[in-house]
Structure 1
Amino acid sequence: MTGFVYPFHSKPLVEVIQELDIVAGLQNVLSNTSAEVWGREDESFHTSATIFNGAVKTFASAVVRPRDARHVSETVKFCQEKGLQLSVKAGGTGVHGGSVAGHIILDLCLLNDISVDLVDTSLPLSENISSSSKRPSICTTSGESYKRSAEEDVDHPSRSRQRINSRDGSASSVSQHSGDSDTSTSWTNPNVIRNGSGSRSDSGSTSTPTTSTTSSDVPTLPPVPQPRMTYVNPTPTTTSAFPFVASSFGGAPSTSAVAMWNSFGPQRLMLNTNPDPPPHVIVTFGAGVRSKQLDAYTAASRYGAFHVPTSAFPVGSGQFLTGGFGFIGRKHGLAMDNLVEAELVLADGRIVWVGEDTHSGEWLPDEDPRDVWYALRGAGSMLGVVTRFRAKAYYLPSVYAGNLIYAFDRQTTPDLLRHLRDCIKGAPRTVYCNIIITAGPTDNSSIVAIQLCFSGSRSEGEVFVQAISSWDGGQSIFRDFSERTFERQQVAVEEILKGGAGRKWYIKSGMLNSLSDEVIEETCQRFAAVPDGCTWLFEYTGGGAVKDVKDSCWPLSHRESAFTVAALHQWGHFEPAALDNSCVLTAEVWIDEVIIPNSPGGPLPCFLQSSAEADVRGTYGSAYDRLVSIKRQYDPTGFFRHVLWPQTEIKSLTNGMNGNCKATDESGEGLGAESL
């Protein structure tokens, strides 16, 4: 693609009903509910209409913030009746504008309840809707009296105090530091009741709606339990020299590698352990819950620190519909692979529940829930609005993780990447590796950051760290490894993107069958010429649990790839137009000319940035035709149009309906990437 200039603004909406007061109509429909409705003149409108990608502007007229599936259903019916377009924020529609492209933005941020249950006590979604008219809770727990605000407790993993709630409403408190340490403290959750043999005899769930509360709502906490102390020996860190780190690591032109990466200083580590953890637990959560909130909550589970496999921060729940590969993805699979059940509002407003072995709700006689379950995990945004999820979480109180940073050099970096590739080839599933190459403003200021995370033993991790460090082409300029909570490790990517919110973004991705010498050489040659603000990464997926899933609309041919590759480009709003072109085209050309020829097809659905039919077909491969049939059955009018789906298909369904606000060109190419 040539001449593709940023920013990607949505096109002005063609008003279907010129005289319609959209805000007043929505307020009337939702008047007897606790849903929120905002117009363009309201400050809350602009909060919801603003996304991570600052290049995107919206022409929407109203924002609806629902609190349960019924509010979503009424909104969908209103839009259908009035001929209005709906876009969904937190619906897996991407960073390139689909979430704010309609007449009405459905912002799911208030659907933020979370609960953690043992497998045999976890209720289906259809059975755990509260009768409360003010705020239906995901899970009603007898005696639960304490409500925790998402902002209060999960705004940062370095919070000074972590609350853990028991079934009877009591709470215990654990002092917590930065989440990684060379001196660790392990404690056993006092809410897990044990009999004389040491086996678990607890029941029920830990459930806390994350509704904002005032300090008066927080009960007095009992004394902190006496922790059991253990110690972790520190790993020496080389800090002899630090290059300039590109502004893509936060936008500050003088940021050093130390400031960006040396945030894991030796501190006391508090772990939420369980000597007899269950294989996994079930986490129920609303679509407005982001990865950071989810990790903070499940890390404080009464059953020990559990985590749902997700991408690292700052992504949201859309990953459960379109992908989600992260630090434990090779061990436990994608976020969408660990989905157990979902609550879904269809295009006609019906509410249904569907899972692998269960379904209920307003299904029609000719509908097969198995088709919806198949499409939901990979192409869910085209089907409807998912309001709640149930997913598996796995016990993981800590990981051994860190970073090796080398200066990028056009002559020596190819040899470093070949060495790294050979070190991790065939690694056990407990090993995660991500190669991040980021560009600085001068030729000698770019860096290669190697992120490693080991969910197995520390000794296993050290073997790989030492093997990679043995490269004889040069010494690392920064090294930082320690035992840390998984929650703290999840911040690593967010720190790379620090300062990126509100800047212009362009994301392009693909899958890679193998990291061949040719791909390495071409990548390093092209990267030497990219603008400041560009980051290219190779995330190792090969040989992991991703390929174990067979009943998915994201095909096995793609799941067997060795790497997921992405170009993450960000830059400011006041750069010349030439830089807009350069930042977009360097990503496009690298992926199209170097990665795609060595790829099984398109990227993970969450990274799909084009709605051209050939690109969408490339992502879903052999599953595409079946997905087309499912879309036509469950959304026959193409109501859900601002999604990762071919615009030619949408247009054929809408049969020439007015009001195209999707940013497309004549070829049908549109916008979309992982919901950030």
Structure 2
Amino acid sequence: MVNLHVATITGEETVLEQAAVEAFKASLRGELLCSTDAGYEGARKVYNGMIDRHPRLIARCTDVADVINAVNFARENNLLLAVRGGGHNGAGLGICDHGLVIDLSLLKGIRVDPVARTVRVEGGCTWGDVDHATHAFSLAVPSGAISTTGVAGLTLGGGHGYLTRKYGLTIDNLLEADVVLADGHFVTANSEENEDLFWALRGGGGNFGVVTCFLFRAHPVSTVYAGPTLWHLDQAAEVMRWYREFSINVQEDMYGFFAFLKVPPGPPFPEHLHTKTMCGIVWCYTGALEKVEEAFQPIRNFATPAFEHIGPMPYPALQSMFDSLYPAGLQWYWKGDFVKQLSDEAIALHLKYGSQLPSLLSTMHLYPIDGAANRVGNQDTAFSFREAKWSMVIAGIDPDPANRDRITSWAKEYWSALHPHSCGGAYVNFMMEEGQERVQATYRDNYERLVVIKNKYDPTNLFRVNQNIKPVTA
């Protein structure tokens, strides 16, 4: 290893002496990778194939001590620093150019307490790891809809998915977090200790430190009644008008996200529907199975679908249902917004753009975030939009880099048309690098409080490769 030209926290270039790098490497139980090392190329790749960044160093931490040493090294050498958990962030904010990456993917410890119904999860776990561990005890933690998503990134942004209406956001089930701060100190944040930090972590992203472990409340979820229902595109307006009322008024055991999609060319979909643009709802019912027919009767009374594939399944099977459809390495460009109402005008715009999906995998989803999530106050956590009914994501997706501009343009145009019909802010995990105004619009009245907490815990903005809360002292 030779002297390295690296990026500083402010984007300038400096030189790291070989001796300093060797000393840092010796302080780690895990690997320290540079561009010439075997494993570097794989370690720098993230979920979104559109992201192609080259850090100078990747610290593959195996324990909290490694994380502390890495944070101290970054701070003492004024290095640009990124923190990577599962690597799913659409904007690629778990990786950086010419700086240091703290890679948590080896921190995989999970411990379920079936009596207390809690689960302790280290920062490198994915939700598939958690689902596997909790399902053995017929428990689940509210999370997302793709099991390869990292626990850390999803949680720190808020976390919504199939269990949100029944049990709230992921952060509503976070009991405490272990955090390595910018000054290298290790703290625990919960409702009684470092309460301000605990408030900020629940929706404020990776702005305040490296979370090495989460403690979650789990819920009795084992077998759910779930799967997709698809309708032809000429029924989409009718489906959306019905869905906007049904979705927010039905019992909280029933969850369904709406989508525009092209039908995947394979089972369980019939061949005559393959690659056809349709609309659909993916359901998840967590109520008593003996009442499932009664629960689904209003859905079946609404309109005859072109395809239905709903039935009982283990909750982890639902969580991983779309994993193979969206493997790592695809090109992604997504934009999101929170939505409170689906007006007829908004529905007409959805039909215009949703009928013009630019590729087989591109899609638009409306995820319900009402029910239990709406019963938490806007100021109770950093996640601000508790009055919203849906979290919308418009995702241009394709395996071919040559189609990057096409899927990006479609997503931007779709979003621009619908944005005036939104709440004004977005789920931070559905944002690309969209600028400070957008970050502030997402946190609204909570932003100033977040700045105060950022000033306290990270005054030099060491943790800035994120949807950044800028300290006034940086």
Same fold by TM-score greater than 0.5: yes
1:616 shift after superposition: 0.8
Aligned pairs for 1:451-600 (under 5 A) are: 451-472=282-303, 475-497=304-326, 500-532=327-359, 533-542=361-370, 544-550=371-377, 551-555=380-384, 558-575=385-402, 579-594=403-418, 596-600=419-423
- 1:365-380 aligned at under 5 Å gives the runs 369-380=194-205
For 1:379, the aligned partner's letter is G
Once the 2 structures are TM-superposed, how far is the Cα of residue 451 of structure 1 from its aligned partner? 0.6
In structure 1, what is the equivalent of residue 46 of structure 2? 51
Moved more, 62-71 or 618-627: 62-71
Change (3 A) 1:84 1:624: same
Partner of 2:276: 445
Give deviations 1:248-289, integer Å, cap 9, x for gaps: xxxxxxxxxxxxxxxxxxxxxxxxxxxxxx6x6110110001
Of the candidates 43, 63, 73, which is equivalent to residue 68 of structure 1? 63
Q: Name the structure where helix makes up a greater proportion of residues.
A: 2
Among 106, 131, 149, the residue aligned to 1:315: 149
Deviation at 1:628, TM superposition (A): 1.3
Residue aligning to 1:293: 129
The letter of the residue matching 2:89 is G
Greater relative CO, 1 or 2 (CA 8 Å, sep 6+): 1
SS in 1 for 2:49: coil
> Does the 8 Å CA contact 1:400/1:457 hold for their aligned counterparts?
no
Query: Percent sequence identity over matched residues?
Result: 27
Report the Cα offset of residue 94 of structure 1.
2.2
Q: Does 1:337 align with 2:172?
A: yes
User: CA 1:100–1:405 in 2, change beyond 3 Å: closer, same or farther?
Assistant: same
Residue type matched to 2:428 in 1? P
Structure 1 35/27 Cα, relative in aligned 2: closer, same or farther at 3 Å?
A: farther
**Does 1:420 pair with 2:243?**
yes
**What is the deviation of 1:458?**
2.9
Unaligned runs of 5+ in 1: 1-10, 119-277, 360-368, 655-676
Aligned residue in 2 for 1:606: 429
For 1:93 and 1:630, the matched residues in 2 are separated by: 26
> For 2:296 and 2:71, how far apart are their aligned partners in 1?
52
Tell me the amino acid that sits aligned with residue 383 of structure 1: F
Rg: which structure is higher? Answer: 1
Provide closer, same or farther for how the CA distance between residues 529 and 20 of structure 1 changes in structure 2, counting only shifts above 3 A: same
Alpha-carbon shift at residue 599 of structure 1 (Å): 2.4
Structure 2 length as normaliser, TM-score?
A: 0.89
CA contact (8 A) 1:79 1:85 kept: yes
Residue identity in the other structure for 2:79: L
State the AA in 1 paired with 2:413: V
Are 1:310 and 1:326, in contact at CA under 8 Å, matched by a contact in 2? yes
Alpha-carbon spacing, 1:93–1:81, altered in 2? closer, same or farther (3 Å): farther
Question: 2 CA distance for matches of 1:19 and 1:600?
Answer: 46
CA RMSD of aligned residues (A): 2.5
For 2:267, the equivalent position in structure 1 comes to none
CA deviation map 1:497-520 (0-9, x unaligned): 2xx421210111111111222211
**1:528-575 CA deviation, whole Å, 9 max, x = no partner?**
234124200111223x111222311112xx112111111121123342
Instruction: Give the number of equivalent residue pairs.
Output: 453
The Cα offsets for residues 577-622 of structure 1, whole Å up to 9 and x where unpaired, read as xx4333212222322321x323223112222324522211111111
Cα offset, 1:418, TM superposition = 1.4
**Counterpart in the other structure of 1:212:** none
Give the secondary structure class of the aligned counterpart of 1:615.
helix
Give 1:76 shift. Answer: 1.2
User: Deviations 1:608-647 (Å, cap 9, x if unpaired)?
Assistant: 324522211111111011111211222111111111116x
Residue of structure 2 in register with 1:305 after alignment = 138
Whether the 8 Å contact between 1:321 and 1:336 is mirrored in structure 2 is yes
The gaps in structure 2 that reach 5 residues or longer are 1-5, 265-272
Query: Does structure 1 conserve the Cα–Cα contact (< 8 Å) formed by 2:86 and 2:105?
Result: no
Matched, 1:36 2:31: yes
User: Helix, strand or coil: the match of 1:539?
Assistant: strand
Structure 2 counterpart SS, 1:546: helix
Decide which moves more: 460-469 or 50-59.
Answer: 460-469
Amino acid at match of 2:127: S
What is the aligned counterpart of 1:107 among 77, 82, 103? 103
